[in-house]
Structure 1
């Protein structure tokens, strides 16, 4: 009986150590500050995000191209002694584009915030990237709203100073659009880099 006692003690100790080692090897799920489980994105989700991001980048490039066409039409109308009909058509197209841009900007801002919340708890660098992206979206939307308000006040205006200001605002919209395309490319590079690690 005495020989069995040390053997059973050793067996119990071995089982405890094995169970402890197994528990350490088992990964516990990461959790957000509000205790929601963070799960690693699967390949299907990553491909869906890639398709969505590609569509957004394509849309942003088309928006910039359309704004550049509006600017060219505006310049042509001014060169034709401020062609009233063409300037009115440019005003109408600008209204349509701004309405669509502001709606899209609001949607992107909400998506950036949602991504920040959804991916909270990942590496600090990824969290910083998500927060920076959300702030950039908010700043871009605020700038577009400011431009839209000023352009709205200039709709129908025909004074040379007002037309010059309208042109400056259209150029600023083009610049913001190009900046957004560059940011999209940067985000794509960051996403690819994150997936490698």
Structure 2
């Protein structure tokens, strides 16, 4: 693929991400996307084929990398710290917070995730389940090995609660703000550390 083709596709994805964050999936038209990206409708059709596929690709652009990093960290945690819960939780939490801090649109993507929760988009939910459902299943397995006495139903509830708390932390609109003079990386590391401790206490309670 040429750099021109890549930049056109990337511009469309970036524009779509911003607009989906602001107006939602149903509230954003392809005409708005083409205008924002400064491309014609033929370019959108060529690269994505449909609005539904464009929505999916906005997620794939962020989720592929985050999921791969989570799985790599999980593999390392199980190899280097067998039976230890906190390294497993770190593998779930840290890549997501890192993505949220990405200056290249990470903040907009967090709002897109919020839209996915708020809007009843069955095709998007199916896409996310098909593409990324293996990730929480692998973490449930790994946590279960760390906590063999924890009933599976309780484990899944607690993993859901962790995912919700993590999404909230990614959005960064809670009571804890980044202190003046503290870098984003340092603040993110502190947030990850506190969330991992909180989750570990919840899982082991």
TM-score, normalised to structure 2, is 0.28
Structure possessing the higher radius of gyration over alpha carbons: 1
Provide the TM-score with structure 1 as the length reference.
0.29
